[in-house]
Every structure is written in structure tokens, then in C-alpha cells.
């Protein structure tokens, strides 16, 4: 895994792997990423994170709440705004992103991040000339 400099933004899957025992290699990678100093996520990512914990991983609500609080204490959180949504519509149109991926990309750009860690987007893609998508789980 190549570590990028500058601010980074986490897609939901990075957080989920940090709290899952389904793939211990991906968990270890996600935990290493959690040590990057200037890391961001969005309110959308938090919503998706809690949903995956409770529905897919069958985490109880008290543990999901604890995980959500840990994540918000250890990351900068971008609040999705109408401006974020408008930017996402433009990104979805320009790049062909799915709606929810476009929202994540828009938030990462608004935060001034240089790297978006995700296994769902096109690894290596440079968005708007300043945000690089990196799949931290690729070997």
C-alpha cells in the first residue's frame, strides 16, 4: 500500500474493514490508514458505516454507537451541504460516477483532500486534477 501525502478522505469500506473480522489483511491495512494525521470522512460515510455495521455485520446498536463515536473522534467530519450535493451532480455528470460515489468525491474535494481511499472507485483516477483515488487493498 502506497501512503500518499496531504489530507486523505476515507470511503465507507475502509472504515468497515477496520471494524470487521471478515478479512484480517484488509483490517490491518485499514487500521494502518487510521494513523494518517489529516484524515476526513463525511456524514454520508458515517450513515453508510452504521448501516453496514448493523445490517451486514449484525453489530448491536450499542456497539455501533460506540464505533461511530470512535470514528468521529478520530477523523475530521465533513457535513454534506446543498453545495456538496450540487457539486456531486456535476461530478456525476462529468465522470459518470454513481450518485453516492459522486457525493463522496464532492465531499473529499471540498475538504481539500489529495487522496480518496476507496476500493469501489477507479484506482489511480485523478479527479479535477487534484484528488487521486487509491485502492489501499490492491496488492
The answer to whether residue 14 sits within a structural domain is yes
Q: Which domain holds residue 56?
A: 8-134
Q: Which pLDDT tens digit goes with each residue over 49-94?
A: 999 999 999 999 999 999 999 999 999 999 999 999 999 999 999 9
How does DSSP classify residue 4?
Answer: P
Q: Examine residue 1 and state whether it is found in any structural domain, yes or no.
A: no
pTM value? 0.93
- State the chain's maximal CA–CA distance in angstroms: 41
In a domain, 139, yes or no: no
Confirm whether 3 is domain-assigned.
no
HEC secondary structure over 7-23:
CEEECHHHHHHHHCCCC
- pLDDT tens digit string along 5-18? 589 999 999 999 99
30-43 pLDDT, tens digit each? 999 999 999 999 99
Return d(Cα 58, Cα 6) in angstroms, integer: 35
Number of structural domains found in the chain: 1
Q: Is residue 79 part of a domain?
A: yes
Looking at residue 95, which CATH number applies to its domain? 3.40.50.1010
Amino acid at each position: 500500500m502506497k501512503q500518499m501525502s496531504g489530507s486523505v478522505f476515507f470511503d465507507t469500506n475502509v472504515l468497515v474493514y477496520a471494524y470487521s473480522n471478515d478479512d484480517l489483511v484488509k483490517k490491518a491495512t485499514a487500521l494502518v490508514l487510521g494513523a494518517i494525521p489529516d484524515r476526513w470522512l463525511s456524514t454520508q460515510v458515517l450513515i453508510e458505516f452504521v448501516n453496514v455495521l448493523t445490517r451486514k455485520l449484525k453489530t448491536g446498536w450499542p456497539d455501533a454507537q460506540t464505533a461511530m463515536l470512535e470514528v468521529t473522534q478520530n477523523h475530521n467530519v465533513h457535513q454534506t451541504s446543498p453545495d456538496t450535493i450540487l457539486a456531486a451532480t456535476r461530478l456525476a455528470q462529468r465522470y459518470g460516477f454513481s450518485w453516492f460515489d459522486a457525493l463522496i468525491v464532492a465531499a473529499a474535494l471540498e475538504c481539500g483532500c489529495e487522496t480518496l481511499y476507496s476500493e469501489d472507485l477507479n484506482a489511480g483516477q485523478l479527479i479535477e486534477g487534484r484528488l487521486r483515488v487509491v485502492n489501499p487493498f490492491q496488492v
